[in-house]
Structures are given as C-alpha cells and as structure tokens.
Structure 1
C-alpha cells in the first residue's frame, strides 16, 4: 500500500487547517439542506402525498444509488484530469440545487399534486439530483484526499457531523415542522426552495478552498464501457478493495428498507405526521454524535475498526423497528424515534468506508477507486423495487429481518479486511 501522507508533496498540506475549515463548513451547509430531504422520512412522505404506493417508495433507493454510482464512475477519469478539483465540486453543487428549485416552482404552481404525470416526473428529478450528488461526493472525496492527511479525515468527518447536526436541527425546528404541517402539502414549496438554496450556498463555500494546480495528465478518449471495465478490474485484482467492496454491498442493503421505516411508523405503529419532525431531528442529532466518535476511532485505530463497530450496530436497526411494531411495547408510537437514532449511523458509515478506500491507493487513483466503491454501494439496489413490492405482498417483517442479517454478515466480514494505515493484513 502507498503511504499517502508521504507520497504527496508538502505543499499539499500547507493550507491544511484552512481547507479543513472550508470543507467542514461546506459539509455543514449541505447537512442543513439535507435534513429537509431525508430519504428515510421526508422524501417518502412526499411520495405518499403524490401516490402513496409501496412500489413508488421502492424506486427511491434504487434511483438514489444508481445516481450516486454510475455518473461518478463515468466522470471519474475526467475529474482526475482536472488540475483544480474545487471547480467540479462547485458545479455539481449547483447541479444539486437546480432540481429542487424546479420542484419548488412546480409544487407552487400545482393545486393537485396527484396528477398522473407528477409521480414519474418527481422520480426523474429525484434521479437527476442524485446523479449530481454522486459526482459532488466523488469530487469532495477527491479534494479531501488531495488536501487532508489520512489521520485528520476522521476529524473532518466529526467536525462536519456535529456542527452540521446542530445547525440542521435548529433549521428544522425553526421551519420544517410548520412547512410539513401546512394543508394540501403546500409547505413543500418552501421545503424544496430551502433545499435548493442550501446546496447552492454549499457550492459557493467550496470555492474558498486553497488548492494549488496539479500537473494535468490530460483526458484520454475512451469508450463508454471502459469505466465499467476498469471498475471490474479494480474489484477483481485488488484483494483489499474486493473485501471492502463486499462488506460495503452487504452494509448498503440496509437502505433497501429505508423508505419503509416512515411507512411502518405511520401505518403499523400509528404515529402521525407530527412525529416526522421528531424522527428527522433524532436521526440528525445521532449523525452529529456518531461522526466525532467514529471519526476519532478511525483517526486513532484506523477506519476498519470504525466500520466494524458501526456495522454491528446497524444490523440491529430493523429488528428494533419490528419490536416497536409488534404490539408488545406500550406507547410504542412515543418511542419509535429511537429507530431513527440508529439510522443516523448509515451516512457516517458510508463516509467512513469511502475514507478507508482513499487509503488503499495514492491520490492519482482516488477518483477511480472512490467511483468503483460507489458502484459497490449501488449493486444491492437492483432489488429495491422488489423489496418495495414485497412490502405490499408479504409480512413486512421478512424484508426487515433479511436486510438485518445481511448487514450482520458484513460486520463479521470486516475481520477479513486489511488495515492499510498500519500495513496489517487481516
């Protein structure tokens, strides 16, 4: 394995503290916007306002994962050729903002949001947003790999997580509850507008990074199939990456039931729309708690241990949700928010896995390895529409328990992963 901290020239880290501040601030602004579109609560609620069908909720995870994996893979080579990485980071943030600004205008103009074409159009816009998000996250990971040393990336994760949670919760308490409580779902006009503005501001913040130009190797022409072939080569030939990729696929299967936690609470346990804000806040506060904790573990002991701890915890989340819905707990609707506390581990673990990926190779190959890992994140989502349909056809306990077992298997498989920072082969 290459030692990143020594393979990069010293000038990369000359402004590291400033860049840590800028990247943390950018993460905070993104988190404030993100709380208004959480995939476990807000977006499924929007889909229920449009359609209410399980199959449509089932499309949300697969569209988000394909968008966050295939476009980054295709763009990875072009990103590598950019001598300044903050410009793609800015432009993709703008790409995240535009879909929500369009949704805001559409929602404002429509009185009946259940018109036949609204559902398909929403899914298309949702996919476009996550395509921009995927490339934005690839650009963030790449510029982080360029400007921040490995043993400080956990600190960046922690700072962005805890401050992001504080400001996101303040924003949600100030506006979100009133907006989602408006009659006829009119408040989503403002929710979508807030999303768009927040993502645009995050893009502007990223321009403040102090980044020196790299010597560009130029962009070589390649066929559309080539990025996928290169990703397969990475997965096939790099054992350390392959083990991590399999763990990532097992872990990410937990997102297959993400849109259905909201459904389970409101339709089985008997919660109300007033509980949505509690769930959103619980999930975001937990992100702020987990980020510095797992970040500290990752900086001191390596990302492998942080991933292992997080996966064991995530594997219990579906079981806890089922227990709340079983009827054995009195006042379960008052305590169901605890499920969303554990759901907050998911985005932190995704960032931790990507940080682990950065340490497997030198900076020049970061875009390729990060985009390949995102493909690993996406593969389980081919089953997402099926899981959504199963929620309508069979007892809901079966899909929930199934993904819990898959995540538990991934946690056990971390004992086979290597720890590149310490050149320790497990």
Structure 2
C-alpha cells in the first residue's frame, strides 16, 4: 500500500505547478488563487483600522456636503464648484497611471502606501491653515488656494488608492476582500457618525462654520492612519517592467482596453457610473437655496451619507464574496440611479423635501462602496502582476466624464438642477443595463484562462 501511495503525491502536485506557471504566463483574465497570504490576519486587522480612521476623518470633508459648502462660503461661482469633481477624479486617474509601473516594480508596495498617506495629511494641514492664518478674509485668493490644495490632496489620494488596492491584492485573498470592505466600512461609519454627531454641531452654525476645527480634526485622523500604515507586514515581490516614455503609458491603457473586451465593457459601465459625481457639489447647495435649509443641516446630511455607506457595505460585501463582484456591481449601479432622481423630485416638493432630503445623501453613501466594488472586480479579472496597470486604466476611464464637470456646473446655473439631474439619471440607468454584459470570473475554474478578446463570454 505504501509503495502505491508514494507516486500519488507528486502526481497530485504536478498539475498545480503547471497551473501556477500558466497563471504567470497569461497576460490577462486570471483569477488569483485563494491560498492564505503571509501575515494575512494581522494585515487584515491593520487595513480595517486604517480604513476606519480614514472614513472617520473623511466625514468631516465629505465631497457632496462639506467641501462644496466651503467653496460656496468663499463666494465661488458655479463653474468653480463644478471644478471639484474634475480635480477629484483627475487626481485619482492621471497620477496613478504615471506611477503604475513604479508601484509594480517596487518590491514593497507599502512604501508608496505610507508615503501617500503622509502626503494626504500634510495637504489637509495646508487647507486647515487657510483659516488659522485668516486667509478666508480674502475669499477669492483663499478659493484659488483651496482648489490648488484640493487638487494636490486628490493626487495623493489617487496614488494612495492604487497602492492600497495593489497591496490588498497582494496581502488579502479574493474571497476575503468583500469581508474587509464590509467590516472596515461598518466600523468606520459607526465611528464617523458618532464623531460627527458629537462634534459637528459645535462647529456648524446657522450662517457660518468653524472650518479650522473641522479640517484640523480630519488632519489628526489622517495622521493616525499614516501611523497604522507603518504596521503593514509585507514580503518583497519581484515584478519587472522596462520604463516607458509618457506617451507609451497612455498607449498601455489603450492597449488594455483594446485587447480585453470584458475590461472594455467594465470601463464603459464605470464611466457611466461616474457621471453621478457631476452633481455632488450641487446637492447641498440646491437643498439650502431651494428648500431654505441652513448650515446645521450639513450635520445630518453627512451622517445620512455615512449611514448609507455602512448599509450598502453590509449589503454588497457578502454578496460580492458569495456570488461574485459582477452581481454586486449590478446592484450598486441600479441603486445609484435613484440619487439624482429622488433629488429632482424632492426639490420640486418643498415641504416633503425639507423633511426627506437626507434620503438623497443615504443613496449617495453608495458611491465609495461602488468604487471599491469596481476595484475588486478589476483585481479579480487581472493577473496579479498587472494589477497596477489595470487599476490605473480603470481610474482613468472613471475620470473621463468628470472633465465635463465645469460644463455641468455651468448648465446647472443656466437650465437648472432638475433638468441636469434627469439627464444624469438616464446615463446611470444605461450603465446598469450594460453591467449585465460583464463576465463573472468565478464561473471559471481557478487558474483557467479567460480570453481577453472573447466577446461571447
């Protein structure tokens, strides 16, 4: 019996070696293995704490509430407010594309993760100093400095997200990433809401706000997240790619779209989804101006938005782990259609809108969950060595519609929020329909090659 058993061990292991070799050789469409990663539980806990700290700090700089309200308080015009989504997405698309190779060939991805988190802290300290140095007394100058620091902050954010997602793909197995998303968001949302309810009423008044305290608190939490990033345990990897001139970087993104039909469809879905961000600067503005609501309502709107994030994380995280990220994408792309539609209805019904406009921000809370789901789907359809290239290309595609955000701001001022919001709703609904054309990678055996140009899948 022992003589019969001895040959069986190598025979069982040999196919897995071949499969591993084939995974390394395939250019695209590889599902990463579900083996445990080194120090996975420690890194899982650290990433949960990191995201919870970032989420708590983020509630005090919410893109759909606090940040546009700041710019509006500095007497900025609608087109300047429309620049916020442009700077937001530009920073999260072009810079990551430029540094994708550098992150790929760096043996320790955590170094970029640490550096960018520290840079984010410094940029936000600069924004806080606008009020500490009383530059808000010169509103036009302060508005331009604010936009500059805002753009630099999101440049750091963009590179940070690329480093984080690449690091997550390296440290956390695919079937635990949805769990990581759910736990981090639930803890982060709970902490963020508690801090907002306790602190924001002290800093938001009927006609003004203490922005130096709001942004100072965010700076402190970002600094704490930076300290947590130092605790990551990571083994070096060895991915090589020759340097390319600037034009070749964009050619690489174009090649990814051209050769991978499934990823190309994903790019279209994500671009249509991103059109929802065009309205972000105007939700709080139209509610305060049309419905007569003051600064104190910002507290409940940021609370509603973060509660929405926690709620949708609990919904999509387990669905993504059990049924796949494609199923989760279809759900989030449908639900986001309701945000501009509900906003358009509520601003036309004054009494109902005053009591119910927080529902819009609950739906907006879906946005960060959806963006992470897009990233997780991208990680699942790309080979590990190409995660930075696929993620940076994905971010570039998501940014494309936001180059029209100043125009969207101009149109809101000319034809009104109602008309623009209905047009955005139509685009979002189209994105939901197209999400059903995406491939579900988990229908294929682990290690199996999904042909990037196979439109029949």
> What TM-score range do you get, normalising by the shorter chain?
over 0.9
Q: Which runs of 5+ in 1 are unaligned?
A: none
Report the equivalent of 1:304.
326
Structure 2 Cα separation of the partners of residues 342 and 176 of structure 1: 21
Report the equivalent of 1:377.
398
Give the CA deviation at 1:205: 0.7
Give the CA deviation at 1:32: 0.6
Give the CA deviation at 1:242: 0.3
- 1:276 correspondence with 2:298: yes
Structure 1 Cα separation of the partners of residues 277 and 398 of structure 2: 10
- 1:208 correspondence with 2:236: no
Structure 2 Cα separation of the partners of residues 404 and 397 of structure 1: 11
- 1:119 correspondence with 2:140: no
- 1:400 correspondence with 2:400: no
Q: CA RMSD in A?
A: 1.6
Report the equivalent of 1:167.
191
Rg larger in structure: 2
* 1:154–1:272 distance in 2 versus 1, CA, 3 Å: same
Is the Cα–Cα contact under 8 Å of residues 65 and 301 in structure 2 kept in the other structure?
yes
Structure 2 Cα separation of the partners of residues 252 and 305 of structure 1: 19
Give the CA deviation at 1:368: 0.5
- 1:243 correspondence with 2:243: no
* 1:333–1:182 distance in 2 versus 1, CA, 3 Å: closer
- 1:338 correspondence with 2:350: no
- 1:265 correspondence with 2:287: yes
* 1:88–1:111 distance in 2 versus 1, CA, 3 Å: closer
Is the Cα–Cα contact under 8 Å of residues 76 and 140 in structure 2 kept in the other structure?
no
Aligned residues: 419
Is the Cα–Cα contact under 8 Å of residues 269 and 324 in structure 1 kept in the other structure?
no
Q: Find runs of 4+ consecutive structure 1 residues off by over 3 angstroms.
A: 111-115, 182-185
| TM-score, normalization by structure 2 | 0.89
Report the equivalent of 2:73.
49
Report the equivalent of 2:33.
5
Give the CA deviation at 1:415: 1.1
SS at match of 1:373: helix
* 1:279–1:115 distance in 2 versus 1, CA, 3 Å: closer
Give the CA deviation at 1:182: 8.3
SS at match of 2:340: helix
| TM-score, normalization by structure 1 | 0.95
Which deviations, in whole Å up to 9, do the C-alpha atoms of 1:135-178 show, x marking residues without a partner?
Answer: 00001100000011111110000011100000011111121221
Q: Which runs of 5+ in 2 are unaligned?
A: 1-28, 445-449, 451-455
| Of 357-366 and 108-117, the range deviating more from structure 2 | 108-117
Alignment of 1:16-415 (within 5 A): 16-110=40-134, 112-181=136-205, 185=209, 187-217=210-240, 220-327=242-349, 330-415=351-436
Is the Cα–Cα contact under 8 Å of residues 358 and 370 in structure 1 kept in the other structure?
yes
Give the CA deviation at 1:117: 1.6
Is the Cα–Cα contact under 8 Å of residues 76 and 143 in structure 2 kept in the other structure?
no
Give the CA deviation at 1:184: 5.0
